[in-house]
Amino acid sequence: MFNKHNISFEFSSSYITYNKLTDNTENIWIVFHGYGQLSKYFIRRFDVLDSDKNYIIAPQGLSKFYVDEDYKNVGASWLTKEDRGSDLLNQQKYLIKLMDELKLKIDFSKIKVNLFGFSQGVSALTRLLMNYNMKVNNIIIWAGWVPEEFFNINKDVLKDTNLFFVVGNKDKYYNNPIIKGYLKKFKNILNKEIDYSVFDGGHIVDRKVLKKINEKL
Of 20, 29, 28, 30, give the one whose Cα is nearest residue 52: 20
In a domain, 151, yes or no: yes
CATH number at residue 197: 3.40.50.1820
Q: Report the predicted TM-score, pTM, of the whole model to 2 decimal places.
A: 0.95
In a domain, 2, yes or no: no
Q: Would you state the pLDDT for residue 37? A: 98
In a domain, 68, yes or no: yes
In a domain, 8, yes or no: no
Number of structural domains, the chain? 1
In a domain, 3, yes or no: no
Q: Report whether 210 contacts 161 (CB < 8 A).
A: no
Of 82, 79, 88, 98, give the one whose Cα is nearest residue 12: 98
Boundaries of domain holding 57: 17-216
Per-residue confidence in pLDDT tens, the chain, 217 aa? 889 898 888 889 999 999 999 999 999 999 999 999 999 999 999 999 999 999 999 999 999 999 999 999 999 999 988 888 899 999 999 999 999 999 999 999 899 999 999 999 999 999 999 999 999 999 999 999 999 889 888 888 888 899 999 999 999 877 778 888 888 888 888 888 899 999 999 999 999 999 999 999 9
Q: Report whether 26 contacts 112 (CB < 8 A).
A: yes
